């Protein structure tokens, strides 16, 4: 038998909605970070004192959790702490040991976290008042963790890290009533198989005043691939602008930085930050003043002879959407695409030939380019246009 030690890790994120939709964007068009500007109210970590969740137990299984199969699966309990954990105290890779249990040396493909909703204190603001939390359940509730790759436990044992993402688990002000809605966002990894990303976030002088650190900025690591990016890890900067995204599997990540909601600085995005097993990658970020943005909402790939809708969304320097802003449209590749403008912010694009085309939307000095890849329609048979 192998002794398996588990630790709990939590990270704070401001992204609050539409995660499944966001992750479909590729790394070369800024869509993941741009859409953050238009989501529901961010997690107010600058005004929250504690986020306490009562952890009952952690179970593991050698069978993959498909969702529907969880109730019928065989689970081995490896830790049963039966206590509250303040997730906000776990930052910069800090962990809280939940216990040690014995399991057979094997590969574990599913991890189940059971919490007691009724015993969880929930969220308190810095003035000590309790926040309203809608747990979407009562009593003991079990939640499957995202296991990116099977967790290998050798005869010598292993340490499994449970990453409980606070900001994405507690969605703030979704109904406009200042409450939090709980949707568990948890992942599990073998600590020995991971590396980390760390650095500082600073702002330049473009917003006036001297350059300096950005506190309470949210840093996110996106994993996956060109057509399937998803948030894997989030964290926030401390008073000195330092951050650390720990327990990431080897690979190349998109790293996005979003300043606090009251900041006058814009977001940053880097699509090629490499992580190696057992090492920490240094990634420092400099933010500049946010002057506004325009975003084209539309598909980045089409079959030939198809028509898709486009919408231009303009965001002001105050991070507010401006539906009345004047938008200009342009088609840079008329041999590939045909553009029809329906109204100020809405247009249609038709794919004429296989290739790559570009549609541009402008609003004052703001510009966004949507690159669209057009592919042959194999379902049309040999007579399909080439």
Domain residue ranges of the chain, discontinuous segments joined by +: 2-191, 195-287, 293-380
Say yes or no: do domains 195-287 and 293-380 share a fold: yes
Helix (H) or strand (E) holding 362, with range, is strand 355-363
Phi, psi dihedral angles at 64 (to 5 degrees): -70, 140
pTM: 0.67
The fold of the 195-287 domain, in CATH, is: Immunoglobulin-like (2.60.40)
Tokens representing residue 277 in the block: 């097993």
Residues 6+ apart with CB under 8 A from 141: 114, 115, 117, 135
Please tell me whether residue 299 adopts helix, strand or coil conformation: coil
Residue 75: what pLDDT? Answer: 87
Residue pair 33/25 in contact (Cβ under 8 Å)? The answer is: no
Residue 269: what pLDDT? Answer: 82
Residue 42: what pLDDT? Answer: 55
Tokens representing residue 212 in the block: 């300096």
Phi, psi dihedral angles at 327 (to 5 degrees): -120, 135
d(CA 148, CA 152): 12
Residue 153: what pLDDT? Answer: 83
Maximum C-alpha span of the chain: 70
Please tell me whether residue 86 adopts helix, strand or coil conformation: strand
d(CA 279, CA 9): 18
Helix (H) or strand (E) holding 168, with range, is helix 166-169
Angle subtended at Cα 282 by Cα 278 and Cα 284, rounded to the nearest 5 degrees: 155
Nearest residue to 328 via CA among 310, 341, 309:
341
Phi, psi dihedral angles at 191 (to 5 degrees): -55, -35
Residue 28: what pLDDT? Answer: 38
**Which DSSP symbol is given to 84?**
E
Mean pLDDT of residues grouped by 10 in the chain (386 residues)?
34 25 34 30 73 90 73 81 85 68 83 93 93 93 89 82 83 87 89 92 87 88 77 85 91 88 80 91 91 87 93 84 91 95 93 94 91 85 48
Q: Candidates 2.60.40.1080, 3.40.140.10, 3.40.1130.10, 3.40.718.10; correct CATH number of 293-380?
A: 2.60.40.1080
Helix (H) or strand (E) holding 251, with range, is strand 251-258
Residue pair 34/311 in contact (Cβ under 8 Å)? The answer is: no
Residue 95: what pLDDT? Answer: 65
Residue 162: what pLDDT? Answer: 85
**Which DSSP symbol is given to 380?**
G
């Amino acid at each position: 038998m192998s002794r398996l030690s588990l630790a709990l890790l939590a990270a704070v994120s401001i992204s609050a909605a539409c995660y499944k939709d966001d992750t479909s964007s590729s790394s070369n068009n800024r869509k993941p970070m741009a859409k953050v500007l238009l989501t529901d109210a961010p997690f107010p970590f600058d005004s929250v004192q504690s986020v306490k969740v009562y952890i009952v137990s952690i179970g593991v299984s050698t069978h993959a959790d498909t969702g529907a199969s969880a109730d019928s699966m065989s689970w081995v309990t490896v830790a049963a702490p039966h206590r509250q954990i303040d997730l906000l105290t776990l930052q910069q890779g800090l962990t809280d040991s939940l216990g040690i249990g014995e399991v057979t040396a094997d590969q574990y493909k599913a991890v189940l976290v059971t919490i007691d909703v009724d015993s969880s204190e929930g969220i308190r603001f810095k003035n000590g008042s309790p926040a309203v939390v809608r747990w979407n359940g009562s009593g003991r509730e079990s939640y499957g963790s995202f296991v990116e790759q099977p967790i290998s436990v050798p005869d010598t044992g292993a340490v499994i890290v449970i990453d409980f993402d606070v900001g994405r688990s507690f969605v703030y002000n979704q109904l406009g009533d200042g409450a939090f809605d709980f949707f568990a966002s948890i992942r599990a990894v073998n600590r020995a198989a991971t590396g980390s990303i760390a650095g500082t976030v600073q702002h330049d002088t473009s917003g006036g005043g001297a350059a300096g650190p950005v506190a309470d900025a949210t840093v996110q690591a996106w994993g996956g691939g060109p057509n399937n990016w998803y948030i894997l890890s989030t964290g926030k900067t401390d008073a000195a602008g330092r951050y650390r995204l720990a327990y990431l599997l080897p690979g190349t990540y998109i790293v996005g930085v979003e300043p606090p909601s009251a900041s006058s600085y814009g977001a940053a995005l880097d699509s090629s930050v490499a992580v190696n097993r057992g090492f920490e990658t240094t990634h420092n970020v400099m933010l500049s003043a946010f002057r506004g943005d325009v975003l084209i909402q539309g598909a980045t790939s089409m079959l030939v002879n198809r028509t898709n809708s486009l919408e231009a969304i303009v965001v002001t320097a105050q991070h507010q959407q401006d539906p009345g802003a004047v938008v200009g449209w342009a088609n840079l590749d008329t041999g590939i695409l045909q553009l029809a403008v329906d109204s100020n912010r809405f247009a249609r694009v038709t794919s004429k030939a296989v290739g790559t085309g570009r549609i541009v939307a402008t609003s004052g000095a703001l510009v966004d380019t949507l690159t669209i890849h057009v592919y042959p329609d194999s379902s049309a048979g040999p007579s399909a246009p080439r």
